[in-house]
Amino acid sequence: MKLLHHRRATCHHRNTKSHSSGPVSTKQVPSITEFRGTQIASAPGQIRRLDAWRYKVRSQSTSAWYNVIWHKKFWKCDCPFNRITHQTCKHIYAVLHRITDIEIETSPEACPECHRQEQVVRRGYYKSRSGLIQRYQCKQCHKKFTARTSFRGMKYSANIVTTTLDLFFKGVSLRSLADHINQFYGYHISHVTVYRWIRKFLQIIVQYAQRFRPTVSHKWHVDETKLRVNGKLRNFWNLMDHKTRYLLAIQVTSGRSAHEAKALLSNGLRRADTEELVLISDGLASYRRATNNLLMEDSDIRIKHIADSGLSKRQSNNRLERFHGTVKERTKTMRGLDSDESSQVFAENFAAYYNYLRPHTALNGKTPGQVAKVWRSPNRNRWFSLIEEASSAKS
């Protein structure tokens, strides 16, 4: 009896240990199990999502459906394999592969100890509610670590965060965006949380983009439009390159004098160094006075100013007028901005989105930053790639 009791206790200890949420090595989980889970995830109609914690996965041998549920610290399935062995079954792996973007999470990693990348090999995955997180080991110093991303430590996956950022700049309001995530992903996210994500990650992107020096043409467009800020109208200035449609400078001011126009042009000239320029603007006299002031201060620069160019003429500002329409599509949903400071932050954030993340039909599906040869995304998720690269440069 004592021996039988000891064996039962040992089995119970092993079953409890297998339920832990710690890293799972490739030796503990057969690769064929994960491979079959990948096959299930790639086939259409095999997984039904009930909410963020419950899924139904169809059996490969029968017409039955198995329940895959997140149970506090691990995934649990009611299939015979998981109930008897308490190991990760193919149905759990199917759910993990479905909710995880493998292309993003398995990006190459350098060892945090010896900073060598050529000696780093993959060592299985870490299973979490958000999906599979790649684990690595350095063969040089034997250091084990997980994928270090800018989204590490966050409650939600990188796909959820980048989806909210992209939808916001495409014109979806914060509350509608939170409702969208709730309906289609099952996560109850506050609109305040979404706003904090936007402030956090766009600040990283804007600071990183300041080091870019775009390759642009010698023809620029300059124009301004009106934005409503806290019940008052403010001037939204823009300076755009003709060929690449790259926004060289952007600002929000209360005045329309030559001082504001000169500040805009000076920022653009510092961003893209050029000695010969054709500047196209409307009939605002501030541009002419600002251009004359720049010529008097710098004798090496040559600027040909074409003013009062109508939309039907060859040298028109159609590109900037179209950009103003894109901006107002976003601000109309926001129903105005709160302060001058927040309006300037919004302008810089939208310029970063426009330059590096928004593809253009006129540019054959490329972004202005890609045409200007400053940044090109290595992955299809441009948000993730830019945030990762900006965070790495910051650290």
pLDDT of residue 385 exceeding 70, the answer is yes
More confident residue, 106 or 26: 106
Alpha carbon dihedral 331, 332, 333, 336, in 10-degree steps, equals 60
Q: pLDDT confidence of 156, banded at 50, 70, 90?
A: confident
pLDDT of residue 154 exceeding 60, the answer is yes
Reported as a single tens digit per residue, the pLDDT across 257-305 is 999 999 999 999 999 878 889 999 988 999 999 999 998 888 788 999 9
pLDDT of residue 10 exceeding 80, the answer is no
pLDDT of residue 1 exceeding 60, the answer is no
Q: Average pLDDT over the chain, rounded to whole? A: 83
Nearest to 251 by CA among 222, 230, 278, 273: 222
User: Can you give the pLDDT at residue 8?
Assistant: 40
Give percent of the chain above pLDDT 90: 48
Q: Which CATH number fits domain 219-374: 3.40.640.10, 3.40.50.261, 3.30.420.10, 3.30.70.1520?
A: 3.30.420.10
User: Can you give the pLDDT at residue 313?
Assistant: 62
Q: Looking at the chain, which residues constitute the CATH 3.30.420.10 domain(s)?
A: 219-374
| Whole-angstrom distance, CA of residue 320 vs CA of residue 246 | 11
Nearest to 196 by CA among 179, 171, 174, 169: 174
User: Can you give the pLDDT at residue 149?
Assistant: 59
Neighbour-count burial of 111, counting CB atoms closer than 10 A to its CB (0-12 exposed, 13-18 middle, 19+ buried): buried
Q: pLDDT confidence of 312, banded at 50, 70, 90?
A: low
Integer angstrom CA distances of residue 55 from 3, 32, 206, 268, 272: 40, 22, 39, 52, 52
Integer angstrom CA distances of residue 387 from 32, 156, 207, 246, 271: 34, 16, 11, 20, 21
User: Can you give the pLDDT at residue 99?
Assistant: 75
Reported as a single tens digit per residue, the pLDDT across 13-64 is 444 443 433 443 333 444 688 888 888 988 888 998 887 788 999 998 888 9
